[in-house]
Amino acid sequence: MSTQQQPPRSTGAFRTKTVEQSIRDTEEPEHALRKSLSAWDLTVFGVGVIIGTGIFVLTGIAAKENAGPATALSFVIAGIVCALAALCYAEFASTVPVAGSAYTFSYASIGELPAWIIGWDLVLEFALGTAVVAVGWSGYVRALLETNLGVRMPTELSGPDAGGHFDLLAFLLILALTAVLVIGMKLSARITAIVVAIKVAVVLLVIVAGAFFIKAENYTPFIPPAQPEEGGSGLMAPLVQLLFGYEPTNFGVMGIFTAASIVFFAFIGFDVVATAAEETRNPQRDMPRGILGSLLICTLLYVAVTLVVTGMQRYTEMSATAPLADAFKAVGRPFFAGAISLGAAVGLITVCMILLLGQTRVFFAMSRDGLLPRFFSITHPTFRTPHRATIVLGVVIAVIAGFTSLQALAALVNIGTLFAFVIVALGVIVLRNTRPDLHRAFRTPWVPVLPGLSIAASLWLMLNLPAETWLRFAVWMALGVVVYYLYGRSHSRLGRLGRGADF
């Protein structure tokens, strides 16, 4: 392979960056990341970020309001949608083992402007997700301190949800995780492995201990009769309803699909594994194993937990806030309820850290390409981590978390992830046609049919989101296009190469 830089195939906003060029950029000493992760590390990262608020909260909401015991099938459907996307991610991550995930994949296949848009989308998604998870963790810890130790945080430092002004615990958590990520990925992987072990142990406790309290009558009917959904109107209504007059239903067969669009939140995060491709020792082999392995493990755990919990307690009586813990309280086992709450609090630490990891890696990749200031893509001389981007983003997100209310949670995180799924699946189809010569250690089967199914399934779930979410998403994307044309387009390293300028 020639070491000469090749000009882009197009000089416009849809110019693409070749795979070879992306890989060469990872070899620049000042912008290189340390390769230290194995397939096991990646799988642990995936399980660590996927198993979080979803399994501890969404199970109760979906069962009580949408699908009853059939929520287990909703998790299967959502898992299939993610699996379709995961197969596409696996091909890209093994073919283009470069930091940035969907952003990098889009740059290599569709073009610079689409890559910028998806990178802009991911930065928002991961930032919001990190802040919100930190606030949720803070709430769990405050409750555990007060209930078990009699220690009560001052109201002023308990965050907006508790009537205060600043959430000190959420702020400190993100600063601590920022320090861990600066020190290095291997330390992050070790901490994640310990926390994930605790979290999985709690989930297995629910499955094994809860199985002794299952009552068969709680499964009848497994699919409750359909009921019209009492949804919102105007911008709060699902977009599919406004476009096609489709009326979503709760329960029944269609209720299973309605619940699938809700529990999809529980799977958000497996794509973060792809952001660590550049720091993986053997990405061609290990990335597909890490992505698909973590998704399979979590889907099986989700289905098992849902079947157990809906068997322990009648779905109409389930808690919408702490279904797993409250199910054990309902059968007179408060000890297990306390253990589950502790596990949830511990487990959210890894979710927060890995979302922050994904955010910094996307930001780093965009900076290295010149679409954001190159200052942020300089790596630490000892730790080989993007310390500047990590510190700046960590402090900003810590401040956001300190002043964020959980009620301010937007579905932007969900729509942003699904949008990334669509772009990655489209990118697989495009790159198969434009670069059939590339060596692909992992090949998505049945192209273009399977990526096409991934696009259709993701779009369907997106259509089930409120029109207000679409409006906010469109505004953020429009702002991103403006920033690209004001800064990114003129500072792009690929654009400078096309104009014959020096990097």
pLDDT in tens, 389-422: 999 999 999 998 888 765 444 456 778 888 989 9
pLDDT of residue 410: 45
Residue 322 has pLDDT above 90, yes or no: no
* pLDDT reading at 341 higher than 60: yes
Mean pLDDT throughout 196-207? 88
pLDDT of residue 164: 78
Nearest-angstrom CA–CA distance, 7 and 84: 33
Q: What are the phi and psi torsion angles at 403 (to 5°)? A: -110, 10
Given a contact cutoff of 8 angstroms between Cβ atoms, the answer to whether 308 and 206 are in contact is yes
Q: What per-residue confidence (pLDDT) applies to 249?
A: 67
Tell me, what's the pLDDT at 445? 93
Residue 408 pLDDT: 45
Would you state the structure tokens that stand for residue 36, as one six-digit string?
């230290």
What six digits make up the tokens of 183? 């020190």
Query: Which pairs count as long-range contacts for 143-152, CB under 8 Å and 24+ apart, including other chains?
Result: 143/341, 144/341, 144/342, 144/345, 147/338, 148/338
Indicate whether 2 pLDDT > 50: no
Q: What does the mean pLDDT of the chain come to?
A: 83
219-259 tens-digit pLDDT: 999 999 988 766 555 566 677 777 877 666 678 887 888 78
Query: Residue 495's CB: how many other CB atoms inside 10 A?
Result: 21
How large is the average pLDDT for residues 199-212?
90
Sign of CA dihedral 92, 98, 100, 103: negative
pLDDT above 60 (res 9) = no
Of the ranges 83-92, 157-166, 170-179, 321-330, which is most confident?
170-179
Quick one: pLDDT at residue 501? 55
The pLDDT-based confidence of 484 (bands split at 50, 70, 90) is very high
Q: How far apart are CA 308 and CA 404, in angstroms?
A: 34
Listed ranges 57-66, 108-117, 379-388; the one with the highest mean pLDDT: 108-117
Tokens 């799924």 locate to 421
The residue written with tokens 């392979």 in the block is 1
Can you count the helices (H) and strands (E) in the chain?
Answer: 20, 2
pLDDT band at residue 306 under the 50/70/90 scheme: very high
Write down all domains in the chain, each with its CATH number in brackets.
Answer: 36-492 (1.20.1740.10)
Q: What local confidence, expressed as pLDDT, does residue 161 receive? A: 67
Q: What's the pLDDT score for residue 236?
A: 64
pLDDT tier at 4, thresholds 50, 70, 90: very low
Helix or strand run (H / E) with residue 437? none
Q: Which residue has the higher pLDDT, 243 or 113?
A: 113
Average pLDDT over residues 333-349: 82
Q: Which of residues 275 and 452 earns the better pLDDT score? A: 452
Give the H/E segment covering residue 3.
none
**C-alpha dihedral (58, 79, 454, 243), degrees to nearest 10:** -30
CA torsion, points 30, 123, 359, 468, in degrees to nearest 10?
A: 180
pLDDT band at residue 1 under the 50/70/90 scheme: very low
In this predicted structure, what is the pLDDT of residue 128?
82
For residue 124, what pLDDT is reported?
Answer: 83
d(CA 58, CA 48): 17
* Positive/negative CA dihedral, 273, 276, 278, 280: negative
Burial class from Cβ neighbours inside 10 Å (0-12, 13-18, 19+) for residue 245 reads: exposed
Q: Hey, which residues does 457 pair with through a beta bridge?
A: none
d(CA 487, CA 372): 8
% of the chain surpassing 70 pLDDT: 89
Once rounded to an integer, what is the mean pLDDT over residues 355-382?
Answer: 90
Whether the model clears a pTM of 0.95, i.e. scores above it, the answer is no
Q: Supply the pLDDT for residue 270.
A: 73
Report how far apart, in Å, the C-alpha atoms of 34 and of each of 99, 287, 353, 365, 379 are: 11, 16, 18, 14, 10
pLDDT digits (tens, 9 = 90+) for 34-68: 777 788 888 887 887 788 766 776 788 889 888 99
- Rounded to whole angstroms, the Cα distance separating 79 from 265 reads 11
Cβ-count burial of 32 within 10 angstroms (0-12 exposed, 13-18 middle, 19+ buried)? middle
Question: Higher pLDDT residue, 311 or 286?
Answer: 311
pLDDT for the residue 57: 67
